[in-house]
Amino acid sequence: GQQVMQIPQYQHVQEGEDFTTYCNSSITLSNIQWYKQRPGGHPVFLIQLVKSGEVKKQKRLTFQFGEAKKNSSLHITATQTTDVGTYFCTYNFNKFYFGSGTKLNVKP
C-alpha cells in the first residue's frame, strides 16, 4: 500500500551535534508534513511543505521537500535536550499516511 519510508529508526546524538531524518515515497506527493512527539505526549504539527524543492526553516530546524516531491528531510542543527522525541513525516491522499518515525535521543 501507499506508504512513506522513514530513516533512521533511532538516532542517538551528543548535545550540540546535528541530526537529520529522511522520508522517502514511491509516489509523487502533493504535500508532506512533519510532526514531533515528545516522550509521553501526542504528535504536534511542525510544518507543511507543498512546493517542489521547498526549504523552510524554524530556528534550528530545516525542512526540505525534494525536487521530485518524493522525499523530504528534517535537519536539526546543534541539537539540544529539548529536541528529544520522535519525529514523524506524513502526507495525505484522502487519508493521512505516516512514516514509522525517527526516535531522537540527545545526551547532555
Q: Which residues bind another protein (CB under 8 A)?
A: 1, 9, 30-31, 33, 35, 41-45, 48, 50, 88, 90, 92-96, 98-101
Phi, psi for 83 (deg, rounded to 5): -85, -10
**Nearest residue to 31 (alpha-carbon basis) of 42, 47, 43:** 47
Please state the closest distance from residue 14 (CB atom) to another protein, in A: 24
Cβ-contact 6, 23 below 8 angstroms: yes
Please state the closest distance from residue 47 (CB atom) to another protein, in A: 9
User: Which residue number, 25 or 33, has a Cβ lying nearer to another protein?
Assistant: 33
User: Which residue number, 49 or 106, has a Cβ lying nearer to another protein?
Assistant: 49
User: Which residue number, 48 or 62, has a Cβ lying nearer to another protein?
Assistant: 48
Here the cell at position 101 is 518515525
Here the cell at position 13 is 546524538
Cβ-contact 58, 46 below 8 angstroms: yes
User: Which residue number, 62 or 100, has a Cβ lying nearer to another protein?
Assistant: 100
